[in-house]
Amino acid sequence: MMAAAYGLLPLAALLTAVATAAIVFALGDARRRQRTFWNLFGAGTKLALVLLMAHGVLQGHTLEVAWPALPGATLRLVADPLALLFAVLSSLLWLITTVYAIAYLEGSGQRARFFGFFSLCVAATFGVALAGNPFTFFCFYELLTLATYPLVVHRGHSAALAAGRTYLGYTLGGGAALLAGTAALYVAVGEQPFTPGGMPAVAEWADRAPVAATAVLALLLGGVAVKAALFPLQGWLPAAMVAPAPVSALLHAVAVVKAGAFGVVRIIEDTYGYALAAELHVTPVLSALAAVTIVYGSVRALAQAELKRRLAFSTVSQVSFITLGVAAGSQLALIGGLAHLVHQGLMKITLFFCAGNYAETLGEHRIDALNGAGRRMPVTSAAFTVAALGMMGAPPLAGFISKWYLGIGALAQGQGWVIGVLVASTLLNAAYFLPILRRLWLLPATRDWPARAGRAEAHRGLLDPVLLTATAVLLAGLLAATPLSPLGWAARIVEQGYPGL
Amino acid sequence: MSVPEPLLLLPILAPLVAAALLGGRARRLGAGLLAVAPLTGLLALAPGAQALELPWLLLGTRLAPDTLARALLALTAPVAAAACLAAAGGYAGPRRSGLLAALAATVAALMGLLLAADLATLYFAYSAMTLAAYPLVVHARTPEAFRAGRIYLTMALLAEAAVLAAVLLIAAEAGNVALAEAPAAVAGHDRRGLLVGLILVGFAVKAGVVPLHAWLALAHPVAPVPASALLSALLVKAALVGWWRLLPLGEAALPGLGAALVVAGLLSSLYAGLVGVTQRRPKTVLAYSTVSQMGLMTVLTGLALLQPAAAPAAGAALAVFAVHHGLAKGALFLGCGLHGRRRGWYLLPPALALAGAPGTSGVLAKAGLKEVSASVAEAALGPLLFILSALTTLLLARFLALAWRGDGGLDPLPQRLAVLALVALGLVLPWGVGLRLAPAAVAYALQPGVLADALLPVIAGAAVAAGAFALRGRVGMPRVPEGDWIKPALLAGVRLGRAARRGWRAARRASGLSAPRSGSLRRSPGPPPGA
């Protein structure tokens, strides 16, 4: 009875998000209070369900639902620890971002459409997290593309539409590659569930036809590399900056880029298995691409004058740490990569929230206009400082923990050059974040900003989410050694799922 | 008396609590608390202590002071307290809370660095200290201060990249190793040469080893007086902590790198002494004196690297040297903040101590250095040390001549108190630490023959100084900019960049591409081609 109830949890959580979307669409633009209630109710319920799922997994229950969709293809949702890492992150940040978005978009039009697609986007992310086989993964992955497009073009002006076209061009191209790869995989080995360490059938097939297996792996990885913004497929990400701040925050921290990075993990670790991917000479290429992306994104970030654009290139760079951790091929590096999946999400969502606060409260988008903003908006600026230092990898913040594990994990595999990449990334991050901190805190204000309305420096709905996520960045690093920290959870995933790595 | 272990956190937390109070209504309380907060560092000196394990913190934090840390805590607590007292009670300039908060953060990081007993916590405290010191350097907010800050942070972060690489290399073999076992882990590391090189370079910037000393000479003069006291007396010692925690001292002999470090230290000492004499601002002269003295402490580290058997004696000598130099330099910098017409009398005892006048702690510090160097390199270093001692005397004579007369303003009591306390401690504390760690050196330093030996270089230096004083106005002193090589180097870099751009444009014109690709030239701010 109990076990059966647990089994239904994944479906219930997915339906919560879908139902929220449906209700919000049905309510229309006018009924603001009801929409706010349903938004928060949906996000809260889903978070509670996901936490319940995490509890169930800790108890040792199997959480799985499956139903046939096409002949030979099943939609299958499984809550393994890896899925939950992503699902907890996305549900938690969805709730926080909903609070933020409600405050941010107050008074702007088309909010029903916005929040409806917002919920759909999170439902798709949840599906990506819990997908139990390549077909399910592909379905939700494409749903994610379609659900985010209206968010990217939300403002509706010509620049937004152009960015939306770029976004669709890249992601649909990637989707096509992923579809081709998935179909080829199904033709070759039939339907197989994601298996930690790789699908045995794929290993047999690769023995028989290594060239075909390599080609399919390249197609699959090419498909997810678009969303993971791996060089040279990162072009859409800075363009998508035209979206409103909460969308950028969600896109960069959780939904889109993370779906790509998560796909890399699923394909390398659970479809082919690291050993096979290394045998097919794919992982060295992947490491090299990740390293190039890390440095390239940081170098481009240096030259950006607009805060959100700088953050966008920073995302390009930071997300590749996850890929790097997967491709390094040691347990420690994989732990670092998976922990960074959460860490980068927390840090980047904080940074985008802060950028949104500066834009919304002060009307500033450019970095050189932020002189002295620390005095006017101390809480926002303190949160920005914490997240930026975390990105640099300064201890005791989250980013340091990721770098520590990635570094020692790569060295364990004899890949000393990764240390060079980590160090270069730290220096470049310092070069593009520290000047912002200097402007915020040390330079005198040069602009006349609107005076504070009341005691708070900004709307509470804009401020509390920033405080929460910045605190999480701090705690994820400070309490890294505890079992329920992102690092602790990542270590559990790797120890249970990939003991042979 | 034994101290409950959680109290080991107090030296780190107390300054931060004080800083937190600064922002609110309890501003005066916060400032007062800050002045005594560093003294909580003395708690770690109580016998029967102590290791605090916090396995849930960071990657498993461990705090435990060892011998070197105890000696440096005995230095840090009073000097930091004096600097905070001088700032809280005597600083009347702009952005007072900002200065106090930055001082508090730097002190907390320093305490953490001294108490840290695991690799990750050490790196955490060290990098936190680097960042916390930046607001101290740029406190004046002048273009000069920002330039100094930029050079400080750039050099410090580049060095910290080397430290990060070294830390990760160690962690890959030994995990988040306890610092007591780190030297052995480094000694047995697969890439020991590379690792030791990274550690040496990584901490050399903070230690101010020439040519990586440029930031020191720029940062000290522009920082407010309490900040430069903290930088010069304590912050530079952090490099020694880094070296002595991680280098395989006493574990493995590294003749090549050890000899290189000894030579680098000696050259540093000599070069900084010579350049320092030409300087015109008292705080710059003191900054060069710090570089020069840190050179001698680098020599001690190099000797320990050269010969493992000498490492314990070198460690003890280093601790005594650091305490002696820290107290004297702290007193001198804080003394520079006094305004009284007769402030020279405050500056004289620590200056004499640094010069190594008989009976001062300087003799004790140099006795330790001589003892260790004699056991490793026979008499080779003797004459050189004589010259360096004379040079130090000359340098401090130059400083006293520049700084003797204050501008005649009134000095608040806390500020005078802070200077006096450090001057008095400087007469006593190094001997106490010496008796504890290197009793042989104390006995040696008190022999009558040694007193005479110590007097000779001081007299030689004083004679040169007197000669120069007599010739003043007739013989011009060469003008060396603060930070010596850095300004010419940066200027050369800028000129090279301009020349390269000009040359590139000329080459394009010559090759017939008179209409350059759109965008490439339009963006450059220079004059249009042909202008």
The domain ranges of chain B are 5-470
A301 with A272, same domain: the answer is no
For A403-443, what is each residue's pLDDT tens digit? 999 999 999 888 889 999 999 999 999 999 999 999 999 99
A250 with A354, same domain: the answer is no
Q: Is residue A216 part of a domain?
A: no
> Contacts of residue A412 in chain B, CB cutoff 8 Å?
172
Contact present, B57 and B24 (Cβ < 8 Å): no
Given a cut of 70, the residues of chain A with pLDDT beneath it are 1-3, 453-454
- Spatial neighbors of B517 by CB under 8 A, at least 6 apart, are none
DSSP code per residue over B312-336: HHHHHHHHHHHHHHHHHHHHHHHHH
> What pTM was estimated for this model as a whole?
0.92
Is residue B518 predicted with pLDDT exceeding 80? no
Tell how many helices (H) and how many strands (E) occur in chain A: 21, 2
Q: Is residue A174 part of a domain?
A: no
Res. B63 pLDDT band, cuts 50 70 90: very high
Q: What is the model's pLDDT at position B516?
A: 47
Nearest by CB: B127 against A395, A401, A477: A395
For A405-415, what is each residue's pLDDT tens digit? 999 999 988 88
| A401: contact with B, CB 8 A cutoff | yes
Contacts A–B by Cβ distance under 8 A: 70
**Beta-carbon separation of B168 and A408 below 8 A:** yes
Q: What is the model's pLDDT at position B234?
A: 94
Is residue B307 predicted with pLDDT exceeding 50? yes
For A167-225, what is each residue's pLDDT tens digit? 999 999 999 999 999 999 999 998 999 999 899 999 999 999 999 999 999 999 999 99
For A54-89, what is each residue's pLDDT tens digit? 888 888 877 888 888 888 889 999 988 899 999 999
| B135: contact with A, CB 8 A cutoff | yes
A427 with A494, same domain: the answer is yes
Amino acid letter, residue A83: A
Q: Please tell me what DSSP assigns to residue B8.
A: G
What's the number of domains chain A is made of? 2
Is residue B468 predicted with pLDDT exceeding 50? yes
* CA B17 to chain CA centroid, nearest Å: 26
Nearest in space to A339 (alpha carbons), one of A495, A478, A476, A195: A476
Q: Which residue has the tokens 């008292």?
A: B282
Q: Is residue A286 part of a domain?
A: no
Nearest by CB: B172 against A396, A412, A442: A412
Is residue B297 predicted with pLDDT exceeding 80? yes
The dihedral over CA atoms of A141, A144, A145, A151, expressed in degrees to the nearest 10, equals -170
Looking at the complex, report in whole angstroms how far the Cα of residue A280 sits from the nearest Cα belonging to chain B.
27
**Beta-carbon separation of B153 and A389 below 8 A:** no
Q: Hey, of A295, A392, A400, A425, which one would you mutate to test binding to chain B, going by the most B CBs within 10 A of its CB?
A: A400
Res. B378 pLDDT band, cuts 50 70 90: low
Contact present, B265 and B119 (Cβ < 8 Å): no
Q: Specify whether the backbone of A190 is left (phi greater than 0), alpha (psi in -120 to 50) or beta.
A: left
A411 with A264, same domain: the answer is no
Q: What is the model's pLDDT at position B531?
A: 36
For B78-126, what is each residue's pLDDT tens digit? 999 999 999 998 888 888 889 999 999 999 999 999 999 999 999 999 9
> Contacts of residue B191 in chain A, CB cutoff 8 Å?
416
What part of A 64-123 touches B (C-beta under 8 Å)? none
Distance CA B36, CA B312 (A): 33
Looking at the complex, report in whole angstroms how far the Cα of residue A486 sits from the nearest Cα belonging to chain B.
12
**Beta-carbon separation of B128 and A412 below 8 A:** no
A386 with A274, same domain: the answer is no
Contact present, A25 and A105 (Cβ < 8 Å): no
Q: Residue A41's beta-bridge partner residues?
A: none
> Contacts of residue A389 in chain B, CB cutoff 8 Å?
131
A274 with A325, same domain: the answer is no
Q: Please tell me what DSSP assigns to residue B189.
A: -
Distance CA B173, CA B189 (A): 7
Nearest in space to A53 (alpha carbons), one of A86, A95, A98, A97: A86
| B297: contact with A, CB 8 A cutoff | no
For B126, nearest residue in chain A (alpha carbons) = A395
Q: How many CB atoms lie within 10 A of CB B358?
A: 17
B148-165: average pLDDT: 95
CA Rg, chain B, in Å?
24
Nearest by CB: B56 against A442, A477, A481: A481
Distance CA A256, CA A388 (A): 21
| β-strand pairing of A64-70 with A73-78 | antiparallel
Q: What is the model's pLDDT at position B1?
A: 47
Q: Which residue has the tokens 């220079």?
A: B526
Mean of per-residue pLDDT scores for chain B: 89
A384 with A472, same domain: the answer is yes
A267 with A303, same domain: the answer is no
Q: What is the model's pLDDT at position B48?
A: 64
Last residue of a domain, which of A220, A244, A278? Answer: A278
Distance CA B196, CA B306 (A): 13
Nearest by CB: A482 against B56, B165, B171: B56
The dihedral over CA atoms of A337, A341, A343, A348, expressed in degrees to the nearest 10, equals 130
Is residue B414 predicted with pLDDT exceeding 50? yes
A367 with A251, same domain: the answer is no
DSSP code per residue over B381-425: THHHHHHHHHHHHHHHHHHHHHHSS-------HHHHHHHHHHHHH
For B124, nearest residue in chain A (alpha carbons) = A395
Looking at the complex, report in whole angstroms how far the Cα of residue A476 sits from the nearest Cα belonging to chain B.
9
DSSP code per residue over A422-474: HHHHHHHHHHHHHHHHHHHHTSPP-S-PPPPSSSSSS-HHHHHHHHHHHHHHH
Q: What is the model's pLDDT at position B323?
A: 96
> Contacts of residue A478 in chain B, CB cutoff 8 Å?
57-58
Q: What are phi and psi of A366, to 5 degrees?
A: -90, 150
Q: Hey, of B168, B170, B194, B222, which one would you mutate to test binding to chain A, going by the most A CBs within 10 A of its CB?
A: B168
A347 with A457, same domain: the answer is yes
Looking at the complex, report in whole angstroms how far the Cα of residue A211 sits from the nearest Cα belonging to chain B.
36
Nearest by CB: A481 against B59, B123, B135: B59
B396-422: average pLDDT: 89
Res. B393 pLDDT band, cuts 50 70 90: very high
Q: Is residue A419 part of a domain?
A: yes
Report ipTM for this prediction.
Answer: 0.91
Distance CA A224, CA A233 (A): 10
> Contacts of residue B55 in chain A, CB cutoff 8 Å?
481
For A378, nearest residue in chain B (alpha carbons) = B23
Res. B454 pLDDT band, cuts 50 70 90: confident
Is residue B4 predicted with pLDDT exceeding 80? no
Q: What is the model's pLDDT at position B49?
A: 62
Distance CA A225, CA A323 (A): 9
SS3 letters across A288-333: HHHHHHHHHHHHHHHCCCEHHHHHHHHHHHHHHHHHHHHHHCCHHH
Is residue B525 predicted with pLDDT exceeding 50? no
A241 with A373, same domain: the answer is no
Res. B519 pLDDT band, cuts 50 70 90: very low
Distance CA B282, CA B304 (A): 34
| A419: contact with B, CB 8 A cutoff | yes
| Full residue range of the structural domain in which residue A303 is found | 297-501
Q: Is residue A405 part of a domain?
A: yes
Last residue of a domain, which of A278, A305, A339? Answer: A278
**Beta-carbon separation of A408 and B153 below 8 A:** no
List for chain B the helix, strand, coil content (%; round to 5): 75, 0, 25
Distance CA B156, CA B104 (A): 20
Q: What is the model's pLDDT at position B526?
A: 42
Q: What is the model's pLDDT at position B379?
A: 63
A124 with A68, same domain: the answer is yes
| B16: contact with A, CB 8 A cutoff | no
- Spatial neighbors of B14 by CB under 8 A, at least 6 apart, are B33, B37, B38, B40
